[in-house]
Amino acid sequence: MANRATQSIGTGMKILSGANIPTYTLEYLTSTAKKNQGSFETIVVPYVELGRDSKCGVSFGDDTPTVSRKHAAIERKGDETFIINLSKSNPTLVNGRPVQNKYFLNNGDEIQLSVEGPRLRYNTTKAGTAKIGFTNKMNLVMQQAIKPYKTAAVSFLMIFILAMSGSGYMIYNLTMETDLQRELIAEQNQISRAQADSIASLNARNSDLAENFQISQEQIERDRQRMIREREQFERELAAIEERSQRQLDSLRNVSGGVNYADVIEELKPYVMAMSIKGWVTEFDGERNGYEIQEENIMCTGFLIEGGIFVTARHCIDMYGTSTEEGSFFQANLIEHSGGSASFHFTAQSYDGQFSLEFTNKDFIQDESMDRFIPWEMPNSNGVGSIRIPEYFRGADWAYMQTDYSDGMAFDKPLSENLRNGTDLFVLGYSYGAEYRVEGNLEPYFSTAKVTLSGIQDGTVHVTEAGWDSGNSGGPVLTMNNGVPTAIGLVTGRYQQATISEGGDVIYTPTSIKMVTPLINF
């Protein structure tokens, strides 16, 4: 980041000093809160990031939830310009095709940030920065070269010397030094005397500019107030970084050689939600029937990951395969797959009431590719229909949907397929439902586990020493990744050893091995 910050700020100084730097434009094809359809933006820096983060040179608002905080970047090197996919959860597309790592752009290429996200058109231009007015140059440099790196720029000493000459304005860029180590961040919480002198010097030069170029006193005051606001914003951001860093360090203190999970899980608990089924509705041959469950009963666990995506186990919302031939759920299975419709209604609630959801099983994306269909005679001689036999426990026990929320716990899909045996895991969820809880207490249970075999086994991660039980299905399975608690999968169930009895029956015997569905599966 430091190299790109230095390069971008250096390019900005060249532009303001009169150098002719190549440019291109981004035309916005989709209207958003920050970008109007048909408007365009001239890009003057060699590297610009696109995303919802306010520090991005091309920034989108929270009305575009499928755009990641840092979604993509466009970089120019020599005569070539290419786009880089930065998001781990949402794709970047060029002309409708996903970008794997990077893609070299051609004039007129259409860029889209996620499948349902905003669209832009990349346009080359023969005109460079020499033909852009000074005020526009200054705005572009502040937005694209200074703003994305303003946290690091607090430790840079930048003095602009403006003088009048026959050809216009000259800006001299003095030495910029930075140290991004945590010790310097702590020192940056207070403005040093040298920084205060720099601000006073810059104000003095603004006064000289007012005399030389007849700039009004009001404009100088506005500039001064703007600098004060930016300085205060720098201080707030640095204080937040320091607080987060200290919190992470405190949470990672040793307890018997391990992690003090009591501190680690505190910020995760609101994202872990208790699921209950409220009833179901069937429609077949013109007849509609509803079934309501009055008693509140926690049956499963779900959780929110970054971007507001709600995740749970497929077997928690796919009720078709959870009952025998005599059960109501079996009848719903037969109706759903024989020309009718059956939908199950659920609620999910966080322990502190911060998050709540209402949904049906048909709101979710899930994998049914391994399921089997069996012909089945319809009741009352209505012909032959079908039932679906789900296959959950070979890596397909996942289901997710997009919510209106944007918050969630950190997750890492690639990490979930590279776990080594012996890796420490921890789990949050609602074991035993509400059976052993004080009334009204929805705080999720905590348990730990260890990876038994490295990598993925038949679509799942095998673990042992796991303390979860019924009701924990669909809950997050996490590990510490560079000091950050990170979701890598979800609770599926217990591995059972199949044996054949003397009478020819299949007998399933539970073992100590439990199964986790890794996030890499979806």
DSSP bridge partners of 47: 75
**Higher model confidence: residue 358 or residue 176?**
358
Q: What is the pLDDT of residue 468?
A: 82
Q: How many of the other CB atoms lie within 10 Å of CB of 461? A: 28
180 has pLDDT over 50: no
Mean pLDDT score of the chain, rounded to an integer? 81
The pLDDT confidence band at residue 263, using thresholds 50, 70 and 90, is: confident
Whole-angstrom CA distances from 5 to 42, 52, 392 are 19, 19, 48
* 213 secondary structure, DSSP code: H
Domains annotated for the chain, with CATH where assigned, are 2-247 (2.60.200.20), 263-521 (2.40.10.10)
165 has pLDDT over 70: no
Q: How many of the other CB atoms lie within 10 Å of CB of 61? A: 13
Please tell me the distance from the alpha carbon of residue 254 to that of residue 31, in angstroms, as a whole number.
Answer: 50
The pLDDT confidence band at residue 507, using thresholds 50, 70 and 90, is: low
Q: What is the pLDDT of residue 173?
A: 38
**Higher model confidence: residue 175 or residue 130?**
130
The pLDDT confidence band at residue 249, using thresholds 50, 70 and 90, is: low
Q: What is the pLDDT of residues 116-125, one digit of tens each?
A: 899 999 998 8
* 58-59 and 47-51 strand pairing: parallel
Residues 6 or more apart in contact with residue 153 via CB below 8 angstroms: 5, 9, 146, 176
Q: What is the pLDDT of residue 52?
A: 94
522 has pLDDT over 50: yes
Section 487-515 average pLDDT: 75
Q: What is the pLDDT of residue 498?
A: 58
Please tell me the distance from the alpha carbon of residue 331 to that of residue 324, in angstroms, as a whole number.
Answer: 9
Section 67-90 average pLDDT: 92
Q: What is the pLDDT of residue 196?
A: 56
DSSP bridge partners of 85: 72
The pLDDT confidence band at residue 172, using thresholds 50, 70 and 90, is: very low
Positive or negative torsion for Cα 367, 370, 375, 379: negative
328 has pLDDT over 80: no
The pLDDT confidence band at residue 273, using thresholds 50, 70 and 90, is: very high
Section 487-501 average pLDDT: 79
Section 124-150 average pLDDT: 75
* Residue 32 burial (C-beta neighbours within 10 Å; 0-12, 13-18, 19+): middle
Please tell me the distance from the alpha carbon of residue 147 to that of residue 159, in angstroms, as a whole number.
Answer: 17
For residue 491, report the phi and psi dihedrals to the nearest 5 degrees.
Answer: -70, 130
At 93, is the secondary structure helix, strand, or coil?
strand
373 has pLDDT over 70: yes
506 has pLDDT over 60: no
Section 22-37 average pLDDT: 91
Q: How many of the other CB atoms lie within 10 Å of CB of 26? A: 20
Q: Minimal CA–CA distance to 85: which of 64, 113, 62?
A: 113
Q: What is the pLDDT of residue 157?
A: 35
156 has pLDDT over 50: no
* 80-85 and 47-51 strand pairing: unpaired
Section 130-159 average pLDDT: 65
Q: How many of the other CB atoms lie within 10 Å of CB of 319? A: 23
